[in-house]
Structure 1
Amino acid sequence: MQKTRETVLEIDLGALAHNYRYLREKAGKGVKFLGVVKAFAYGNDEVVIAKKLSALGVDYFGVAYTSEGVSLRKAGIEKPVLILHPQSFNFEEIIENCLEPSIYSEFVLKEFIKTAERLGQKDYPVHIKLNTGLNRLGFSEPEISKVLEHLSNTTAIRIKGLYSHLAASEDWKEREFTLGQINRFRKMAFEIVNAIGYHPLLHITNTSGIVNYPEAAFDMVRAGLGLYGFGNDPEIDKHLKPIGTLKTIVSQIMKLQPGDTVGYNRAYKAQEEITIATLPLGYADGISRQLGNERSGVYINGYFAPLIGNVCMDMIMVNISGIACEEGDEVIVFGKEQPVTEFAKQAGTISYELIAGISQRVKRVYLPE
C-alpha cells in the first residue's frame, strides 16, 4: 500500500462492507436495514458511504438534519431517507426532496400537516417518534390520543414508521431498563397500529441493540457507529472492522537542548536533549487540545511518539527521541497501530465524538472492497 504524502483519512470500503454484512445477518431475514449517515457519515464521507451501502443493499438511510438529506438526493441517492431531527422551517424542502420526517411532538405534527396540506400532499410518509425513556424527543404514552386525533383529521400524511431509541443497549447492567423500553415501545406502537388499521415499519434497535436484543428487530433496524467499526462493547467490536485510518507525515525534525520549550505558552520543557517532530494537523482537524502534553501520541515507523506541548490549530509536536525517521515519513494517528477507541479514551471522550470531529479539510482517500 502506498504511503501517504499528506494528512489523509483513509477509508476502507471493504471494512464497511464487512460491518454491514455482519450486522445485516444479526438483524435476521426479512428485516429492513437503515444505515445512519448523519454528520458526514460519522466524520467519513456521507455520499461515498451512502453510495457504497446502496450498492450493498441497504434499504433506508437516516440523517439528523434536512440539509444532510438534501445532500444525499443531490448526489443521486434514491433510497428512502429518514430525517431524525427536522425543524419546521425545512418542511417544504423535505417534501420537495421526497424525504421522510420524524414527527416527535404535537407542534411538529401540526406544522407538518399544515405544510403537507398546503402543498396538496396525500399520504405523505412520516415516522412517529415515541419516547420510551431516552427523554430527548418523542411522544409520551399519554400523548398518543393527540397523535391519533390529528391523523384522523387529515389525508395529507400517512405513518410510514413508528420508532424509538434505546438509551443503553450496550450496557448489560441496564438490561432491565432496556427490556422495559422495548416492551413500552411494543405497547405504544400497537396501540397506534390497532387504531389506524395498518402496520407501519416498527424500529427501535441501534447497533448494540441489533446484537444484544435480536428479539427487538421488529420490521427494521438502524445501524450507525457499527457500520464504521465500533460497537461500544469489546465483544461486539471484535466482529467489526474500523473503516478509518488517520495518517499524516513528519514536516520537520529538530533537536532540543535541556531547558528548551515547545509550542504556545511554553507548555513543554525539555529536561534533557531530545529530538522532536512537527506534524501538519491540529485541533482544526479534530485533534483535541486535551490530547497534548504527553496524554497521547502517534505511531511513526511502528514506534509510539508522545505528543508534547499544546495542540495547535494546524500542528502538533511529538517526541521522536530514539525513533529512526525522516522528514516526509508517514505517521499513524489512529488505525491498526492505535485503535480510535484508545485514542478517544486518552482524550477523555468516546469514539463517536473523535471520528465525527475529523475536519472536512482533511483529505479523504478510499480503499476499494
Structure 2
Amino acid sequence: MAITRLEIDLEALRHNYQYLRSKLTDGVRMMAVVKAYGYGSEAQAVAIELEKLGVDYFAVAYVSEGVALRDAGVQTPILVLHPQPDNFEEMVERCLEPSIYSARMMELFSAFAKAKNQTNYPIHLKFNTGLNRLGFWESDVSWILDRLHEKNSIKVKSIFSHLVASEDKAEEEFTLNQILSFTNISKELLEGLDYVPFLHQSNTSAIINYPRAQFDCVRSGIGLYGYGNSEEETARLKPVARLKSVISQIHKIAPGESVGYNRAFKASDYMTTATIPIGHADGISRIYGNGVGYMTVQGEKAPIIGNVCMDMTMIDITGIDCKEGDEVEIFGDITGADTLAQNAGTISYELLTAVGQRVKRVVLK
C-alpha cells in the first residue's frame, strides 16, 4: 500500500448518502456535487458508487470534470455549474448540461446549440438570491421568458439558486428571505412556461435546517463526504476520506536544537521528533506548522513543529511509543478534517480539496 495515501471509504459514502436521503420528503430528488475531484477524494469512484445507489443527478464545476465522469462510464445527468464558452463543443458532445447564469451565456449557448442543430437542449437557470457570485436577477425573468419563447434550441431543465448561510442560525432571517425570493422567481417563471422544470436551492445544511426548502431536488456536497456543518450532524456522518502516512525517520533532539527551515522551532528540553513524508505540496499548508496542527500516532496527538516543508512535516512524538514505519493519520476517523481545519482558522472544504494529486488515492470497497 502507498506510504502516503488518501483512503476513500465507499462504505462511509453509502452511509452518508442514505442518511441524507432519509431527511428528504418523498419524491424529492438528490443531486450529488462531485466537483474538485469529489471534494478532494476520487470523483470517478464516488460517482460510480452513487450511481449504483440511485442518485438522480450530479453537479460539477467545470466541463472537464464532467468529461472525466463520462469517460469513467457515468450515465446519470450532469449539471455543469460554471461552464465557459470555449468548452461548449465538448459539453454538448458529452451530453453535459450547462448552468445559464447571465444574458451573455444565454445568448452564446442558445446560438451555439442552434448552430449544432440542437432542439430543446437541457439548460439550468441559475438565479442570484443573495450570494452575489453568479446568477440572473429576479428582474431578468421577463427577458428570459421572451428569449425562451423565441428559441427552440434550448429548454429549461431546472431553476436553481444557492443559499449563503444555511448552517448559521444567526442568519436565519437572511436565509428565509433567500428562500422566499427563489419561490417568487420560480413561480413567475413557471407561469410563463408551458412545461415544468424542477427546482433546487438547498445545500447540505439546508437539507437539515430548512426542510421546507427542499423543493423538487436538493444538492449535497460536503455532507456526502462526511461533514455536516455542525458537530451534531457531523457525528451522524462518516468521513469518506482518510489521509494517512508513515514515520520516515525519528530524531532525538537536545535543548537548544532547532527543527526545520528558518529554525522556526527550538527545543526547550530533550525531545523526540518524527519526519513524515507529506508537505505543503501535498496540501498540508504551512499554516498547520508550529503547533497549529497535529497528526495522530498510536492514538495520540503529535503536534506539528517547525515550518511545514514542501515534501515533509516534522511532529513531536515525545512520550509516544512508536517506531519508524508506523502509520500516522493526518485526518480521518480520529481527527476529522473539520477539526484540523478549524485549528488553522479555515474550513474542512479547503483542507479536503487541497490534498495534492501526487497523494495516491486508495479506494476501499
Q: Tell me, what secondary structure is at the counterpart of 1:27?
A: coil
Distance in 2 separating the partners of 1:318 and 1:98: 48
Q: Do the aligned partners of 1:288 and 1:347 also contact (CA within 8 Å) in 2?
A: no
Q: 1:294 deviation in Å?
A: 1.2
**What is the distance in 2 between the residues matched to 1:142 and 1:164?**
15
> CA distance change for structure 1 residues 5 and 365 in 2, over 3 Å: closer, same or farther?
closer
Match of 2:308 among 299, 306, 311: 311
Which amino acid counterpart does residue 42 of structure 1 have in structure 2? Answer: Y
Cα distance between partner residues in 1 of 2:351 and 2:8: 15
1:103-114 to structure 2, matched below 5 A, reads 103-114=100-111
Report deviation, 1:5: 5.9
Report the Cα distance in structure 1 between the residues aligned to 2:28 and 2:356, rounded to whole angstroms: 35
Q: Whole-Å Cα distance in 2 between the matches of residues 322 and 234 of structure 1?
A: 30
Q: Indicate conservation of the 8 Å contact 2:200/2:215, yes or no.
A: yes
Matched, 1:14 2:19: no
What is the 5 A alignment of 1:1-369? Answer: 6-368=3-365
What TM-score comes out, normalization by structure 1 length? 0.97
Equivalent AA in structure 1 for residue 237 of structure 2: L
| Consecutive unaligned residues in structure 2, runs of 5 or more | none
Distance in 2 between the 1:150 and 1:280 partners?
56
Q: Alpha-carbon deviation of 1:321?
A: 1.2
Which shifted more, 170-179 or 38-47? Answer: 170-179
- Contact 1:5/1:330 (<8 A) preserved: no
After TM superposition, give the deviation of residue 193 of structure 1 in Å: 0.8
2 CA distance for matches of 1:182 and 1:141? 13
SS of residue in 1 equivalent to 2:23: helix
Q: CA RMSD in A?
A: 1.0
**8 Å Cα contact 1:251-1:277 kept in structure 2:** yes
Using the TM superposition, name which of 350-359 and 232-241 deviates more: 232-241
Counterpart CA distance in 1 for 2:322 and 2:235 is 32
Stretches of structure 1 lacking an aligned partner (at least 5 in a row): none
Q: Which residue identity lines up with residue 292 of structure 2 in the other structure? A: R
1:38-81 deviations in whole A, cap 9, x for unaligned? 00000000000000000011010000001000111111101000
Code of the residue aligned with 1:301 in structure 2: it is: Q
| TM-score normalised per structure 2 | 0.98
Give a deviation string over 1:183-208, Cα, whole Å, max 9, x none.
Answer: 11111011111101211011110001
Deviation at 1:238, TM superposition (A): 2.1
> Taking every aligned residue pair, what percent have the same amino acid on both sides?
53
Distance 2:312 2:92 in 1: 44
Which sits farther off after the overlay, 74-83 or 337-346? 337-346
Give the Å deviation of 1:231: 1.1
Q: Residue type matched to 1:70 in 2?
A: V
CA distance in 2, matches of 1:234, 1:348: 16
Q: Report if aligned partners of 2:2, 2:360 keep a CA contact under 8 Å in 1.
A: no
Conserved 8 A contact 1:301-1:325 = yes
- Deviation of 1:135 (Å): 1.0
Q: Look up the equivalent residue of 1:160 and give its one-letter code.
A: K
Q: CA shift at 1:367, angstroms?
A: 2.2
State the alpha-carbon separation in 2 of the partners of residues 366 and 158 from structure 1. Answer: 38
Shift of 1:366: 2.2
Q: How many residues align?
A: 365
What secondary structure is seen at the aligned counterpart in 2 of 1:122?
Answer: coil
Following the alignment from structure 1 to structure 2, what is the Cα–Cα distance between the partners of residues 182 and 134? 12
Q: Hey, what's the Cα distance between the residues in 2 that align with 1:159 and 1:17?
A: 31
Shift of 1:336: 2.2
Q: In structure 2, the residue corresponding to 1:181 is in which secondary structure?
A: helix
CA contact (8 A) 1:207 1:226 kept: yes
State the distance in 2 between where 1:222 and 1:258 align: 54
Whole-angstrom CA distance in 1 between matches of 2:19 and 2:333: 20
**Structure 2 counterpart of 1:325, one-letter code:** C
Give, in whole Å, the separation in 1 of the partners of 2:89 and 2:362. 35
Q: Provide the C-alpha distance between the structure 1 equivalents of 2:87 and 2:364, rounded to a whole number of angstroms.
A: 36
